[in-house]
Homo-oligomer: A and B are copies of this chain.
Amino acid sequence: MSITKRQMYILKAIIDDYILTGVPVGSRTLSKREDIHVSSATIRNDMADLEEGGYLEQPYTSAGRKPSVKAYRLYVDTLMHVSKLSEEDIKFVREYLNYKLNQLESVIDATAKVLSELTNLTSIVLAPQLSRIELKRIQIVRVSEKKVLAIFVFNTGIVKDVLLNIPRDVDVPYLEMLSNILTEKVANLRLPEALMEVRQGMRGEMESHRAFMEKLLDSIVFSIQNKSAKDVVLGGTQNIFNYPEYRDVEKAKNFLSLLETKDTLYDLLTRASDMEFTVKIGTENSIPELKDMSIVTATYNIGGEKIGSFGVIGPTRMDYARIYSILRFVGASINEILVYYLNSNDKT
């Protein structure tokens, strides 16, 4: 059973219409469109075929048809027409992202905001994954009697620090020495390897160093691992209310609760961190709660390294074409900004 060209055209028309309105579309509505010159009866026949092929679904006996997951998949893969972003949108992204350029986190926040504003969906942004970046240097600074600040400088220019309470006072030269030892061991390694290297490489060192370093490492491991929840920034969580099909309090509540368990979102995004783009439609998601939601993600880079990802989540009937171009442009913009902000040519 093959699909005719006209049927394909009708399918696309149905998807477009359904994405726009969220209401199952009927044959008569379609037949009135200017670009369709066949009668409603003909369309009905085609629709019946498409339904048989698994591309359309009927919510109930005499409602119109709505696209199935299979249809959306086809749409995303081949049918949809990705147009350029409008001048306004481009301007909006540029201004918003540049305006907020003072801290790394602000870029993340601004991205979330921009995405949700442009797409009218809930946006998810994952902060740069430090475990993917090579370390350049570790520097330990004495802050007060029992506190030191461990500063991690990464090759991309990102700087991260952790405040640590230490059991006893240490003097500055000792910390400097420690910094040097650590830096030597970890330079050009990624965090996971660096941790292993230090743990193993410590065997030969003095016992007093060892205890201190262990504590240092533990704290770091803890604060890195513990970041999973913190690393996910959301935008436009209320946007779901714009969709009539989520006017139901129960449904909306479910969705919003899902967003609160950021670990799930974190997993979704990290898992997608290797692909430039991913589109998960409805049941294609492994998570049952997401069975009628879609997630579209993209990644952003520093120096060619994919270090984080971002995307949107919403009803399956989202405007994939538009979202695709938005994500593409926003991703490119983030790259630009990060390169500029982090001054990544800095190779001291």
A residues apposed to B, CB below 8 Å: 102-106, 136-137, 139, 141, 143-147, 149, 151, 153, 157, 159, 161, 163, 165, 219, 222-223, 226, 230, 237-238, 241, 247-249, 252-253, 256-257, 260, 341, 343, 346, 348
Contact = CB atoms under 8 A, between A and B. Distances in A.
Given A144-B348, A147-B159, A238-B260, 12 more contacts: A102-B219, A102-B226, A103-B223, A104-B163, A105-B230, A141-B141, A144-B153, A145-B348, A147-B343, A149-B159, A165-B343, A238-B253
6 contacts: A103-B223, A139-B143, A141-B151, A143-B159, A159-B163, A238-B256
A143 B151 contact: yes
Contacts of A346: 144-147
A313 to B, nearest CB: 16
Contacts of A256: 237-238
Interface centre among A219, A247, A257, A346 (most CB of B within 10 A): A346
A186 to B, nearest CB: 16
Nearest to A236: B260
A244 B346 CA distance: 58
A151 B149 contact: yes
Main secondary structure of the interface of A (DSSP, over half): mixed
Contacts of A143: 139, 151, 153, 159
Contact of A146 (B161, B165, B343): B343
Contact of A149 (B103, B161, B238): B161
A20 B313 CA distance: 37
A147 B152 CA distance: 13
A147 B104 CA distance: 13
Contact of A139 (B106, B141, B165, B238): B141
A75 B315 CA distance: 46
Contacts of A219: 102
A203 to B, nearest CB: 27
A153 B142 CA distance: 11
Contacts of A141: 139, 141, 151
Contacts of A237: 256, 260
Contact of A102 (B102, B223, B260): B223
A222 B252 CA distance: 37
A161 to B, nearest CB: 6
A141 B150 CA distance: 12
A119 B106 CA distance: 32
A137 B105 CA distance: 25
A348 B142 CA distance: 11
Contacts of A104: 163
Contacts of A136: 144
Nearest to A226: B102
A151 B163 CA distance: 11
